[in-house]
Amino acid sequence: MKQWQALVRDIPDFPRPGILFKDITPVLADAEGFAAAVAAMVEPWREAGLDAVVGIESRGFILGAALAQALGTGFVPVRKPGRLPADTLSQDYALEYGTDRLEVHVDALPAGARVLLVDDVLATGGTLLAARSLMRRQGAEVAGATVLFEMLALGGRAHWDESVPLLAAAAY
């Protein structure tokens, strides 16, 4: 399998001065790299009995849709504000470079559905925590969360309740 980690590139001072942005677009653009990255994320969840993969806008959509196909589940989008057309639940959160809000359709999942949260990066952890709150408020069971990579210096994992597995295919 291709070493997809080497394809992640660092962009200094994006989107704000002082932020070192980890750009995954070269991973996605490389057929073998993309396949290897998705395979690394999928493998631990094959026997997890999932009902749905929940991907977080926008980079979590790309990886989440690929994971849903590989795991044979449907895909549920958690979106930034004002983009979902039907009734939504919403959750505010903070991230490394600002604040934002996530939303999900109230009828996106049946009660008790076992879901996997998917995003590209765990940084401060605010995004995944907000998505997890949305799922709980909706009555879904969060079986776990997975990201392509974790940015260790930002300490996001410290905010995560360890009773739910949070896996990262790589850490920087």
Ligand X SMILES: O=P(O)(O)OC[C@H]1O[C@H](OP(=O)(O)OP(=O)(O)O)[C@H](O)[C@@H]1O
Strands 74-78 and 52-56, sheet pairing: parallel
Question: Which of the listed partners (ligand ADE, ligand X, none) does 91 bind, with a CB threshold of 5 to 8 Å by partner kind?
Answer: none
Which is closer to ligand ADE, CB of 46 or CB of 80? 80
Pure H helices in the chain: 25-29, 31-42, 59-71, 126-138
Report the nearest approach of ligand X to the CB of residue 30 (Å). 19
Residue 103: C-alpha distances to residues 22, 72, 80 (Å): 25, 24, 6
Report the nearest approach of ligand X to the CB of residue 62 (Å). 9
Report the nearest approach of ligand ADE to the CB of residue 121 (Å). 4
Question: Which of the listed partners (ligand X, ligand ADE, none) does 21 bind, with a CB threshold of 5 to 8 Å by partner kind?
Answer: ligand ADE
Note whether 103 and 88 are within 8 A (CB): yes
Question: Which of the listed partners (ligand ADE, ligand X, none) does 19 bind, with a CB threshold of 5 to 8 Å by partner kind?
Answer: ligand ADE
Q: Give catalytic residue positions.
A: 59, 96
